[in-house]
Structure 1
Amino acid sequence: MPKEVVLPELAESVVEGEVLRWLVNEGEPLKKDQPFVEVMTDKVTVELPSPYEGVLLQKLVKEGEVVPVHTPIALIAEPGEAAALMPQTPAPSVQAQEERSIVEPGPVAEDDGASLSLFKPDGKPEQVKNPFTRPTPLQTTPAQPPRRVVAVPAARKLARELGLDIAQVPGSGPGGRVRVEDVRAYAAKQ
């Protein structure tokens, strides 16, 4: 039975942590006390040691994701059971590959003003977006409830100390994540 690894309480009054990077990939072996993930809180950045020996079966949290303490972040299986539990994905058939190439959109050229037409002036059809794909976070609609701002814990803490609304700070990190430097730059403009 795989064992859950939870985000520990790394310091007093720490309520959340950000997974900065995984040091071990899924399916790789782990020794007990081997560092396997790097986590940052508003007080400390640390490499967490594995509490078990085994194989990293599944990462439950993505890099850059902020999660509360005591949240499961990974599953570790014992070496013997890992092979039976690792998901085996069969190679897609030729038909499936051909169908996917028909449905999935390719790279989309810059908008030349003829975006409403299915045909470009040279007569080639334009790629059509796949209606079955999930929208990315950038495609949210105003009717949705406000989402939590993606920011590193240290940036949240600094914004609180400076009395700034973190939602007003433009983020320069991956996916628009607000970093400490962004908060300092925003405060300097104010």
Structure 2
Amino acid sequence: MRLLRRLLLAVSLGSTLLLSGCGSVDIDDYQGTQPTLVLSRFFDGQLTAHGMVQDYQGKVTRRFVVTMTGQWRDGVGTLDEAFVYDDGETQRRIWTLTELDAGQYQGTAADILGVATGEARGSALQWRYQMLLPVDGDTYEVEFDDWMYLIDERTMINKSDINKFGVTVATVTLVIQKQP
């Protein structure tokens, strides 16, 4: 995480970093793919995720496990996430998710700036938001570009790019599984 902190600081001071290219994937590319991802169906009940954080060079800097509980009522869901990192640090995030029309979603949480927005097509969802990210005692404003892919009714893969000033400074990968 020290490397991530130094990188975030360097980017925030205006250093030029040529670390990432422009992506060309669009959520509409997943129209019609199966199984169809519906957040209120997948994020309902008990879930467990295993994940890792990679720095801009691809080196794994942290690993973690998340236990989640999701509940939905009338198109509004609560997703309670409890993180435990490999160094013993814990975090908790409680999302309030709202299902809008035509695969559109919004979400809020205490460390999310403004409103997260998401759009689902087929088996994929793109989720974008700004977040206050704690790193080694400091807090940074970063942007997340989340892509969630439903593999089957019980398994999802989530890949998130963490960006600062348009530059990818880290990537988070999770495998999320619904519990029986």
For the aligned pair, the TM-score class normalised by the smaller chain equals under 0.3
Normalised TM-score (structure 1):
0.19
Q: Is the helix fraction higher in 1 or 2?
A: 1
Higher relative contact order (CA 8 A, sep 6+): 2
Normalised TM-score (structure 2):
0.20
Kindly name which structure, 1 or 2, has the bigger radius of gyration based on alpha carbons.
Answer: 1
